[in-house]
Structure 1
Amino acid sequence: MKFEVSLFTAIIVLIVGLYDMAYAFNRRYKNNGRSFGPFMILGIIFTVFGIFLLIRHWMG
């Protein structure tokens, strides 16, 4: 079974991850440091998974 990845999907996942991290970073200053963690964790997960999907797209 071959794992095929669409380039469009990989780029969208990467953009969502970067947006989540930017949102978490900007939210840190508005809420005095609270609610920083969950958005940053999601952003890191989406960014790493987006990079993984891009690598899988180019390799396969």
Structure 2
Amino acid sequence: MGHDINIHRSFYRLPQEIIEVARMGCLLTAFNKGTIGQFSGKSIDDIAFELGKMRKENES
């Protein structure tokens, strides 16, 4: 696109704080739905990924 990786990182990458808030939101959603137990022993990254995948499957 005519720009270097630093421009991409500065303008297109989400700040880490936003990513962490989204992950915590996924964790709280699982807690509210009563499905948090199925994620026992998994990292928050795995939980956020699986919840996102399940949400997409439910939408289609």
Give the TM interval when normalised to the shorter protein.
0.3 to 0.5
Give the TM-score taking structure 2 as reference length.
0.35
Structure having the higher Rg: 2
Larger relative contact order (CA 8 Å, sep ≥ 6): 1
